[in-house]
Homo-oligomer: A and B are copies of this chain.
Amino acid sequence: MAQHRFDPDFTDHVIESMGPRASPRLRQLMTGLIRHVHDFARENELTVDEWMSGVRLLNWAGKMSDDKRNEGQLICDVIGLESLVDEITFKLAKEAKDAPTATAILGPFFRADTPYRKNGDDIVFDKPDDGEMTFMHGRVMDFSTQKSLAGATVEVWQASTNGLYEQQDPKQTEFNLRGKFQTDKEGRYSFYCLRPTPYPVPDDGPAGKLLELLDRHPFRPAHIHIIATHEEYRPLTTQIFDRKDKYLANDSVFAVKDSLVVDFVERKEDSRASLELEYDIKLVRNSC
């Protein structure tokens, strides 16, 4: 079987060292991981120096991580792993008849304690000079029937034009640019926010070093985070992206999907916003 000139029994030997009390799923994952890592090393004739460079990078990521920052996660993000795992998890949840929820990525800047606001409220408490005010609105509806869903919750959060979320930036009011909204009888939600702007992922650690060595930029295209929930439906966690963003085709963490790209259009006769974004959110019923 082995298509290489190294010890053909080595990888099986490592895999067979697992004992009978290892859980079946961990055994499956470690078997796959060991095979791929060994194949990678053999196919590329990985040297000791190259391997040790990788070890140093990972140790550096661990040292830099704390409750405010997860650099190990960011390294996975810049090689597309978080987005891929998100796709896999989403597909599995969609296929499972009795999946209670669709697990999905929150990203590091979600806050569980975000307050409810009223439809039509403004979440821009500290308007930056270069911010473009946007009226965002739409309906939450049943994915299959297109029926409007009253009493659904729509939670949003976004960075300011300086690329920082409120908890990263001591100059922003607490809960600036975030809020929870409940849909009305017609399933509608609405609020004023900023047109989102692109920002770089933190690039002062090993993920940034890797991006630099790979001759890649650290920018994420402009986006708004959304979580929509309704008690009879599966929660949806997503991000929507501005079609005009220059980084749309090369998000540094590869989260853009075609269906998540939206258009900001001119809004007339509203002194509070010059742009408008209409976005309908479709939820899938529990146990569908």
Q: Which of A50-58, A178-186, A190-198, A268-276 contacts B (4 or more CB under 8 A)?
A: A50-58
Q: Is A3 an interface residue (CB 8 A)?
A: no
Main secondary structure on A side of the interface with B:
helix
B26 with A214: CB separation less than 8 A: yes
Nearest neighbor of A50 in chain B, beta-carbon distance? B29
Can you report 30 A-B residue pairs in the complex whose CB atoms are below 8 A from each other?
A6-B88, A10-B80, A10-B83, A10-B254, A11-B80, A17-B252, A17-B254, A18-B214, A19-B215, A22-B214, A22-B216, A29-B46, A33-B79, A34-B80, A36-B36, A36-B37, A37-B79, A38-B80, A41-B81, A41-B84, A48-B85, A48-B86, A48-B103, A48-B104, A49-B103, A55-B70, A55-B73, A58-B62, A61-B62, A62-B64
Q: Is A245 an interface residue (CB 8 A)?
A: no
In whole angstroms, what is the CA distance A216 to B280 when docked?
Answer: 52
Nearest neighbor of A106 in chain B, beta-carbon distance? B48
Give the size of the chain A interface in residues (CB under 8 angstroms).
78
Q: Is A213 an interface residue (CB 8 A)?
A: yes
Q: How many copies does the complex hold?
A: 2
Q: From residue A288, how far is it (CB to closest CB) to chain B in Å? A: 19
In whole angstroms, what is the CA distance A144 to B52 when docked?
Answer: 32
Q: Is A204 an interface residue (CB 8 A)?
A: no
In whole angstroms, what is the CA distance A153 to B72 when docked?
Answer: 43
B85 with A47: CB separation less than 8 A: yes
Q: Is A265 an interface residue (CB 8 A)?
A: no
In whole angstroms, what is the CA distance A11 to B83 when docked?
Answer: 11
In whole angstroms, what is the CA distance A65 to B52 when docked?
Answer: 13
Q: Is A126 an interface residue (CB 8 A)?
A: no
Q: Is A21 an interface residue (CB 8 A)?
A: yes
In whole angstroms, what is the CA distance A51 to B89 when docked?
Answer: 11
In whole angstroms, what is the CA distance A63 to B62 when docked?
Answer: 5
Given A59-B62, A63-B63: A76 in contact with B51 (beta carbons within 8 A) = yes
Q: From residue A37, how far is it (CB to closest CB) to chain B in Å? A: 6
Contacts of A85 in B (CB 8 A): 41, 46-48, 51
Q: From residue A26, how far is it (CB to closest CB) to chain B in Å? A: 6
Contacts of A48 in B (CB 8 A): 85-86, 89, 103-105
